Amino acid sequence: MTDTSLSLTIRAAREKLRAREMSSVELTRAFLDRIHALNPSLNAYITIMDDEALAMAHAADERIARGDDTPLLGVPIAIKDLFSTRGVRTTGGSKILGNYAPVWDATCVARLRAQGAVFLGKLNCDEFGMGSSTENSAYGVTRNPWDETRVPGGSSGGSSAAVAAGLCCAALATDTGGSIRQPAAMCGVTGLKNSYGRISRYGLFAFGSSLDTVGAITHDARDAAIMLAAMEGCDPQDATSVDVAPIRADLSGLQDLRGLKVGVPKEYFIDGMQPEVEQRVREAIAQLQALGAEVRDVSLPNTSLGLPVYYLIAPAEVSANMARFDGVKYGLRVQGEDLIDTYMKTRGAGFGAEVKRRIMLGTYALSAGYYDAYYIRAQKVRTLIKRDYEHAFETVDVIAAPVTPTTAFKIGEKADDPIKMYLEDVFTLPVSLAGICGISIPCGFDQNNLPVGLQLIGPAFGEQRLLDVAQTYQATTDHHLKKPSLSLSL
Amino acid sequence: MYDYDYDYDYDYDYDMLTEAEVERIALLGRLALTGEEKARYARQLSAVLDYAAQLANLDVEGIPPTATVIPIRSVMREGDAVFGSLPRAEALANAPSTDGASFVVQATLDND
Query: pLDDT tens, A247-267?
Result: 999 997 678 999 999 999 999
- CB atoms under 10 Å from CB of B91, counted, come to 16
Inform me whether the C-beta atom of residue A345 falls under 8 Å from chain B C-beta atoms.
yes
Is A79 contained in some domain? Answer: yes
Residue A252 pLDDT: 74
pTM: 0.95
* Catalytic residue flag (residue A155): yes
Distance from CA of B81 to the nearest CA of A (A): 11
Element (H, E) at A348: helix A339-350
pLDDT at A219 over 70: yes
pLDDT in tens, A315-327: 999 999 999 999 9
What is the rounded end-to-end Cα distance, in angstroms, of chain B?
63
Torsion angle defined by CA atoms of residues A18, A21, A24 and A25, in that order, rounded to the nearest 10 degrees:
160
pLDDT in tens, A147-165: 999 999 999 999 999 999 9
Residue B1 pLDDT: 25
* Catalytic residue flag (residue A485): no
* C-alpha closest to that of A439 among A405, A422, A464, A476: A464
What's the CA gap between A298 and A285, in Å, rounded? 14
Residues A302/A383, Cβ–Cβ less than 8 Å: no
Is A154 contained in some domain? Answer: yes
Residue B4 pLDDT: 40
Residues A39/A45, Cβ–Cβ less than 8 Å: yes
Q: State percent of chain A over pLDDT 90.
A: 92
Is A408 contained in some domain? Answer: no
Q: State percent of chain A over pLDDT 70.
A: 98
Cβ distance of B4 and A305 shorter than 8 Å? no
Chain B residues with CB under 8 Å of A342 CB are: 106
Query: DSSP label at A375?
Result: I
pLDDT at B10 over 50: no
Which residues are registered as beta bridge partners of A476? none
pLDDT in tens, A74-84: 999 999 999 99
pLDDT at A33 over 60: yes
Interface predicted TM-score (ipTM) of this complex, two decimals: 0.91
Residue A416 pLDDT: 80
Cβ distance of A386 and B26 shorter than 8 Å? no
Is A490 contained in some domain? Answer: no
What's chain A's average pLDDT? Answer: 96
| pLDDT-based confidence at residue A49 (cuts at 50, 70, 90) | very high
Paired sense of beta strands A118-123 and A76-80, if any: parallel
What's the CA gap between A149 and A425, in Å, rounded? 21
pLDDT at B2 over 50: no
Torsion angle defined by CA atoms of residues A72, A73, A76 and A77, in that order, rounded to the nearest 10 degrees:
30
Inform me whether the C-beta atom of residue A78 falls under 8 Å from chain B C-beta atoms.
no
Which residue of the set A23, A137, A155, A432 is catalytic? A155
Residues A388/A302, Cβ–Cβ less than 8 Å: yes
A86: domain CATH number is 3.90.1300.10
Which residues are registered as beta bridge partners of B42? none
Residue A273 pLDDT: 92
How many domains is chain A built from? 1
Cis omega (within 30 of 0) on the bond before A209?
no
* Catalytic residue flag (residue A84): no
Residues A157/A207, Cβ–Cβ less than 8 Å: no
Better-predicted residue by pLDDT, B17 or A393: A393
Residues A432/A408, Cβ–Cβ less than 8 Å: no
pLDDT at A480 over 60: yes
Hey, is A148 helix, strand or coil?
coil
Nearest by CB to A434, from B67, B69, B107: name it.
B69
Domain that holds residue A109: 10-260+465-481
Paired sense of beta strands A45-48 and A76-80, if any: unpaired
Q: What is chain A's percent helix, strand, coil content, to nearest 5?
A: 40, 15, 45
Residue B73 pLDDT: 63
pLDDT in tens, B92-111: 999 999 999 999 999 888 76
What's the CA gap between A185 and A443, in Å, rounded? 9
| pLDDT-based confidence at residue A3 (cuts at 50, 70, 90) | low
Residue A424 pLDDT: 87
pLDDT at A275 over 90: yes
What's the CA gap between A351 and A93, in Å, rounded? 10
- CB atoms under 10 Å from CB of A283, counted, come to 14
Region A35-62: mean pLDDT is 98
Chain A residues with CB under 8 Å of B63 CB are: 380-381, 383-384
Establish, for the pair of chains A and B, how many residue pairs have beta carbons separated by less than 8 Å: 179
Is A149 contained in some domain? Answer: yes
Q: What angle do CA A283, A404, B8 make, to 5 degrees?
A: 125
What's the CA gap between A302 and A382, in Å, rounded? 9
Is A131 contained in some domain? Answer: yes
| pLDDT-based confidence at residue B77 (cuts at 50, 70, 90) | low
Region A451-465: mean pLDDT is 98
What's the CA gap between B30 and B66, in Å, rounded? 28
Residue A103 pLDDT: 97
pLDDT at A486 over 60: yes
| pLDDT-based confidence at residue A415 (cuts at 50, 70, 90) | confident
Residues A436/A457, Cβ–Cβ less than 8 Å: yes
Return the sign of the alpha-carbon dihedral for residues A330, A332, A335, A338.
negative
Is A452 contained in some domain? Answer: no
Residue B75 pLDDT: 64
pLDDT at A42 over 60: yes
Is A118 contained in some domain? Answer: yes
pLDDT at B81 over 80: no
